[in-house]
Amino acid sequence: MLTVAGVVWRPRGLDPAWVAVLGAVAALLVGAVHLSDLPALWNATWNATLTLVALIVLSLLLDAAGLFRWTALQVARWGAAAGGVSSRC
């Protein structure tokens, strides 16, 4: 629970990835997780992990290509045409 709280609250501006790494190391040190458990954990979660990594890579590529900005501008224009958004967007 401390790891989740640290990821959400980001103490001292610490990157959430570092908080997660520290939580994993702490779990190993206190014996909550053993190194022998890692293969079973990996077998249970590899597909979800791979999916998340692929989505992150895809999102970065689409962002670099400008798709999200273009989509936001299109939605703003459609809203302005419908009278719902100021045309100063």
Q: Note the pLDDT tens digit of each residue in 4-62.
A: 888 888 888 888 889 999 999 999 999 999 999 999 999 999 999 999 999 999 999 99
Q: What is the pLDDT of residue 7?
A: 82
Degrees to nearest 5, angle at CA 39 with 31 and 24: 40
* Range 71-84 average pLDDT: 88
Q: What is the pLDDT of residue 84?
A: 64
User: For residue 69, what are the contacts with CB-CB under 8 A and spacing of at least 6?
Assistant: none
Domain boundaries, the chain: 1-33, 36-89
Q: Is the whole model's pTM more than 0.85, yes or no?
A: no
Question: Which tops the pLDDT comparison, 88 or 3?
Answer: 3
